[in-house]
């Protein structure tokens, strides 16, 4: 089954002369359980694709289907029981005056869970933090620990599809691999499907089964991981990206 189908997606900001066409005619699909990468240089429209899927980019046309169902411009609350997003910057994505317990507890409550205590404890275990972090505040956490909390918050509604927007690029190099390993483990344990944005081909090559190469708002090519390993691309721009990577 297809977890995600994106057909002829266009996303724009502003209007008239100020209009920016951030994504143009993007088409791709992601199978259930697959890990799919979006790569391309800064400004190529990668984040905008994720934001359109999750309802954070209001102006779009085309078709977005999740688990076979076309989604409209308004996302019902139940949508977020299926689709969750992890943002690039764990410093900006956590409220400074909310403890870890509040962040996770409130998310669980919002999604109608009752056994909040047990679930908070389990989520902290799932992301490798453990209970001693439960009553801490963001300023008492490192970047990697914050990103683990953001990942726990995304897992709280028990989603099927995680949209990951450069989840390690704001972190120290030394903790990037830890978070990538955690994400790889969580995908198996929770049977998740990933769409992961990265400007780093080695990250995508390590984490993803297939990837779309973006340039100036368009998907120029979709490659399998074998093609990536053998630097086997058709489009000159993807070849250029592959050759530039180590």
Ligand X SMILES: Nc1ncnc2c1ncn2[C@@H]1O[C@H](COP(=O)(O)OP(=O)(O)O)[C@@H](O)[C@H]1O
Specify the DSSP element, H or E, that contains 227. helix 225-229
13 scored as a contact of ligand X (CB under 6 A): yes
Number of neighbours of residue 47 by Cβ within 10 angstroms: 22
For the bound state, the minimum distance from the C-beta of residue 57 to ligand X, rounded and expressed in Å, comes to 7
42 scored as a contact of ligand X (CB under 6 A): yes
Nearest CA among 244, 243, 235 for reference residue 213: 235
For the window 39-68, what string marks contact with Mg ion as x by the rule CB under 5 A? --------x---------------------
Nearer to Mg ion among residue 47 and residue 147 (C-beta): 47
State both tokens at 215.
């340039």
Nearer to Mg ion among residue 47 and residue 193 (C-beta): 47
Q: Give which of Mg ion, ligand X, none residue 45 binds (C-beta under 5 to 8 Å, depending on kind).
A: ligand X
Helix, strand or coil for residue 28?
strand
Among 28, 30, 36, 46, binds ligand X (CB under 6 A): 46
* Residues in a beta bridge with 13: 20
Nearer to ligand X among residue 6 and residue 127 (C-beta): 6
Q: Give which of ligand X, Mg ion, none residue 138 binds (C-beta under 5 to 8 Å, depending on kind).
A: none
Among 3, 6, 37, 48, binds ligand X (CB under 6 A): 48
Nearest CA among 160, 158, 138 for reference residue 148: 138
Max Cα–Cα distance, the chain, nearest Å: 53
Could you tell me if residue 130 is left (phi over 0), alpha (psi between -120 and 50 degrees) or otherwise beta? Answer: left
* H helical segments located in 19-131: 46-54, 79-82, 100-110, 116-126
- Number of chain positions touching ligand X (CB under 6 A): 11
Among 7, 24, 27, 43, binds ligand X (CB under 6 A): 43
For the window 157-176, what string marks contact with ligand X as x by the rule CB under 6 A? --------------------
Stretch that binds ligand X, among 41-49, 117-125, 178-186, 231-239 (CB under 6 A): 41-49
Stretch that binds ligand X, among 25-33, 45-53, 60-68, 222-230 (CB under 6 A): 45-53
* Residues in a beta bridge with 204: none
Count the helix, strand and coil residues of the chain and give each as a percent rounded to the nearest 5. 40, 25, 35
Output DSSP code: residue 56: -
198 scored as a contact of Mg ion (CB under 5 A): no
Query: Rounded to an integer, what distance in angstroms lies between the CA atom of residue 227 and that of residue 240?
Result: 14
| Site residues (vs ligand X, CB under 6 A) | 13, 20, 22, 40, 42-48
| Site residues (vs Mg ion, CB under 5 A) | 47
């Amino acid at each position: 089954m297809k977890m995600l189908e994106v057909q002829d997606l266009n996303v724009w900001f502003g209007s008239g002369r100020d209009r920016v066409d951030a994504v143009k005619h993007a088409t791709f699909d992601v199978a259930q359980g697959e890990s799919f990468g979006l790569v391309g240089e800064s400004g190529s429209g990668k984040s905008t694709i994720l934001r359109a899927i999750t309802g954070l980019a209001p102006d779009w046309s085309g078709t977005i289907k999740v688990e076979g169902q076309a989604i409209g411009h308004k996302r019902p609350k139940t949508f977020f029981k299926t689709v969750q997003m992890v943002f690039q910057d764990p410093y900006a994505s956590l409220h400074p005056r909310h403890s870890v317990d509040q962040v996770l507890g409130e998310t669980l409550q919002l999604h109608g869970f009752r056994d909040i205590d047990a679930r908070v404890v389990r989520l902290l275990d799932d992301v490798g933090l453990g209970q001693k972090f439960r009553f801490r505040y963001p300023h008492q956490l490192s970047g990697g620990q914050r990103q683990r909390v953001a990942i726990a918050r995304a897992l709280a509604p028990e989603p099927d599809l995680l949209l990951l927007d450069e989840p390690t690029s704001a972190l120290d190099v030394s903790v990037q691999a830890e978070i990538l390993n955690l994400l790889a483990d969580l995908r198996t344990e929770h049977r998740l499907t990933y769409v992961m944005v990265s400007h780093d081909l080695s990250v995508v090559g390590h984490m993803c089964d297939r990837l779309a190469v973006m340039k100036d708002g368009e998907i120029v090519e979709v490659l399998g991981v074998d093609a990536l390993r053998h630097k086997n691309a058709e489009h000159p721009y993807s070849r250029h990206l592959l050759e530039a990577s180590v």
